[in-house]
Amino acid sequence: MTFATFPHRLPAISGFVFACLALLPLTVSAQATGGILYEGARLIVGDGTPAIESSAFLVRNGRIAAVGRKGSLVAPVGVSRVDLTGKTVMPAMVNVHVHIGYEGYSSWGVEHYTPANVLDHLQREAFYGVAATQSVGSSPTDASLAFQRDQAAGKFGAASRFFFMPGMAPPGGGPDAILLKGTSALHAVHEVSTAAEARSAVRSIAAKKIRNVKIWVDDRRGTYPKMPPEVYNAVIDEAHKAGMMVHAHAIQLADQKAVVRAGADVLVHTVTAEKLDDEYIAILRQKKPYWTTVIGLGDRSEACNADPFVDQSYPDRVLASIRAESCNPPTSGQSARDETLGDNVRAMVAAGARLVLGTDAGIAARHSFGWSDHHEVARWVQFGLTPSQAIVAATSRPAEMMGIRDLGTMAEGKSADFIVLDANPLDDIRNTRRISRVYLRGAMLDRTVLADRWKRN
Ligand SMILES: [Zn+2]
């Protein structure tokens, strides 16, 4: 079967229907009773094991029912077959660090924070092969819980699964000056001054069955109050008692040492201005925190490169404004940053810090949802990771960290969330961009409809 004759394409849509797209499913489920047998692809499982060069996997009711070599699976009665010879399949990715809802592409702010815009951002992640996306410390709790309930109830079209956590910071501290404009208006951050207030805030978050909380430990070069140790110690202690994870923003070496030593579970940034020292390496070896690099946020935008992979999800006017504002050649300061960053990333990995995908997308149009995941993964390989290590850090490890048991690998029982690629990312990590199709819960995402909508708006 060729792609052109593949059975579950959406029919052509009228202008009226187009206007309602945000509310419509963007996938059509396979109707075959026996499921669909995908055969012939090179299959990257996502757990670091060698790829299955000529694979077969059976998808039934949105789940992976069996995985093996082509010819080794017994096809059930009524099964449809899809020939993926020449393709590579990898699990859909999981992004554990974004800021969802505020980006409006012609402007940024709280006025854009609607369920429709949250969904749009999740569709952008899905378009680029990301099955779950976590907003870190900037999403209003009650609205986010309502969105999660609605998404789980199937009220929205296909999109990346939404995860979020509340933030915690001293009064007047926390998110940077841009993000603060959104989070303060929506009260997304709990302001805490004392250990007692911190414990009480954590308990109120835990009572809503939220598994994660973010803290900021940063004085923004002396312009912000920094969360004191007795407060973050209380947050961490109380969170761990409730079985929650603490995600820490700390970008100075001394602050990262302090929060990791105190038991923070996830670092949401990499130290870029200082080289890591032996004391920190020893702490990392002992604690092995999860960690998102967020390298791309400091990089020149890929929207400067006229790469159709990036351009396809931006309206032309946004591309023009990014190119007018942020496409200068790298400065010597940036090369120095890159050198320190490369050294620090390698040192973190060698010390056992558990790298997971996070992009910080959503705080600037120039570094946005979806494509920035591929930028991050490619940067890791530039810094010395193997493509296989990079794929693990973008798939199974973040799923494990977030406790999403049905995502992250191409294995029996998992949700059928995967990317079909035209080329092998184990040969060249940039081949994660050669996306032929994305499947979520066993259904093919209609990427053409999405790209058309984004190009127009
Ligand atoms: Zn962030």
Tens place of pLDDT per residue across the chain (457 aa): 333 333 333 333 333 333 333 444 444 344 446 899 999 999 999 999 999 999 999 999 999 999 999 999 988 889 999 999 999 999 999 999 999 999 998 889 999 999 999 999 999 999 999 999 999 999 999 999 999 999 999 999 999 999 999 999 999 888 888 888 888 888 899 999 999 999 999 999 999 999 999 999 999 889 999 999 999 999 999 999 999 999 999 999 999 999 999 999 999 999 999 999 999 999 999 999 999 999 999 899 999 999 999 999 999 999 999 999 889 887 888 888 899 999 999 999 999 999 999 999 998 888 899 999 999 999 999 999 999 999 999 999 999 999 999 999 999 999 999 999 999 999 999 999 999 999 999 999 999 999 999 998 7
432 C-alpha vs ligand 1 centroid, how far in Å? 24
Phi, psi of 404 (to 5 degrees): -90, 95
199 C-alpha vs ligand 1 centroid, how far in Å? 23
Nearest to 438 by CA among 421, 457, 415: 421
Looking at residue 357, its pLDDT comes to 98
Other C-beta atoms lying within 10 Å of the C-beta of residue 407 = 22
167-169 and 55-60 as β-strands: parallel, antiparallel, unpaired?
unpaired
56 C-alpha vs ligand 1 centroid, how far in Å? 39
Tokens representing 51 are 């790829």
Instruction: Give residue 432's Cα distance to chain centre.
Output: 14
294 C-alpha vs ligand 1 centroid, how far in Å? 8
99 C-alpha vs ligand 1 centroid, how far in Å? 6
Other C-beta atoms lying within 10 Å of the C-beta of residue 334 = 15
360 C-alpha vs ligand 1 centroid, how far in Å? 5
Q: How far apart are CA 162 and CA 118, in angstroms?
A: 9
Q: What is the pTM of this model?
A: 0.92
Nearest to 273 by CA among 343, 358, 330: 343
Which residues have C-beta under 5 Å from ligand 1, the single-atom ion? Answer: 360
Q: How far apart are CA 180 and CA 168, in angstroms?
A: 12
CB 286 within 8 A of CB 263: no
Nearest to 299 by CA among 334, 272, 324: 334
Looking at residue 33, its pLDDT comes to 64
CB 323 within 8 A of CB 304: yes
**What letters, b where the CB count within 10 A reaches 16 and e where it falls short, cover 299-315?**
bbbbbbeeeebbbbbbb
394 C-alpha vs ligand 1 centroid, how far in Å? 17
Looking at residue 32, its pLDDT comes to 44
